[in-house]
Each structure stands twice: as structure tokens, then as C-alpha cells.
Amino acid sequence: MTKQRVLVQVSDNGDGIASQDIPHIFERFYQRDTDSTGDTANAGTGLGLAIVKRIVDLHRSQIAVRSEGRLGTEFSFWLPQPAV
């Protein structure tokens, strides 16, 4: 019997994530450098993506990120399909 999975994709059409930040975005408390952008109004605690990654890990899956400047970012991962 093959386990069924559900693909979850979340995307936006924002400014994207800088390539040098992508390896770190799932680290707890990581925040991009706002000194160069001056965008401190949108600064968070750096916990959201770390929590998401932990939840995905607990489901024995992996999360992937794809981002292009000015075109947005897409996160995707697989979860087990709940039994009906």
C-alpha cells in the first residue's frame, strides 16, 4: 500500500528573499539585514519559519523554498494525507 501525500504550496509575489539569506531563513531568530533596506517596520522575531520547519520535520517531510527577486517566493512541502 502506497501512502498518500498532500502537496502544500504557499507563494507570494513580493520582493523575494535574497539568495544569501535563503540558507538561514529556517534558523531560529534569524533576521535578514535591515540596515541596507531600512525596513525595520516589517522586522519579526525570526521564529515563524523555524516553527514551520519543525512541524514539517515532525511529519518526516522536507520544506523547499524558491525565490526570485521582485517575483516572489514559494514554499512547498508534502504532508501525509489524513485517513478518512
Domain ranges across the chain: 5-80
- Residue 39 pLDDT grade (very low, low, confident, very high; cuts 50, 70, 90): low
Give per-residue pLDDT as tens, 17-32.
999 999 999 999 888 7
Residue 74 CA to residue 11 CA, distance in Å, equals 4
Handedness of CA 35, 41, 45, 47 (dihedral sign): negative
pLDDT at residue 22, as a whole number: 92
pTM assigned to the model = 0.77
Q: Rounded mean pLDDT of 28-47?
A: 68
Average model confidence (pLDDT) for the chain? 85
Runs of H (alpha helix) within the chain: 48-58
Rg over alpha carbons for the chain, rounded to the nearest Å, is 15
User: With 80 as the cut, is the pLDDT of residue 7 above it?
Assistant: yes
Fold of 5-80: Heat Shock Protein 90 (3.30.565)
Distances (CA, A) of 51 to 27, 29, 48, 62: 9, 11, 5, 13
pLDDT in the model for residue 42: 60
